[in-house]
Amino acid sequence: MTLRHIVSWKLGGETRDARDTQAAEIRAALEPLVDLVPTVRALAVHRNELFDGENYDLTLVADFDDAAGLAVYATHPDHVAAGAVVKRHAIARVATDFTL
């Protein structure tokens, strides 16, 4: 069983360039978690490419063995620190979790 965790954020930058800078900072904070949090099986961060201003700006896709693995990730100190970076820039968040 694999649990897929998908989170998307709207970023607060007023221009595409500002949101690109915010997205790069968030990506730099999140991508190392694949090597830092032992329950992460896969993790990727994607910048929205189409319909700027309409779609959410950035999406995280992460895989775990199960909900317990996601819970470990959620409270892991490195994830908490990365979350602080996200919170500085995100004005909206949406998430979905499902089993593959």
Paired sense of beta strands 58-64 and 90-99, if any = unpaired
CATH number of the domain that 39 lies in?
A: 3.30.70.100
Handedness of CA 27, 72, 90, 49 (dihedral sign): positive
Number of domains in the chain: 1
Query: What range defines the domain where residue 26 resides?
Result: 3-99
CB burial of 67-90 (b: ≥16 within 10 Å; e: otherwise) equals eebbeebeebeebeebeebbeebb
Token pair for 20: 């690109």
Q: What is the CA radius of gyration of the chain?
A: 13
pLDDT of 1 reads 87
Instruction: Please list the pLDDT of the chain residue by residue as tens digits (100 residues).
Output: 899 999 999 999 999 999 999 999 999 999 999 999 999 999 999 999 999 989 999 999 999 999 999 999 999 999 999 999 999 999 999 999 999 9
- pTM value is 0.94
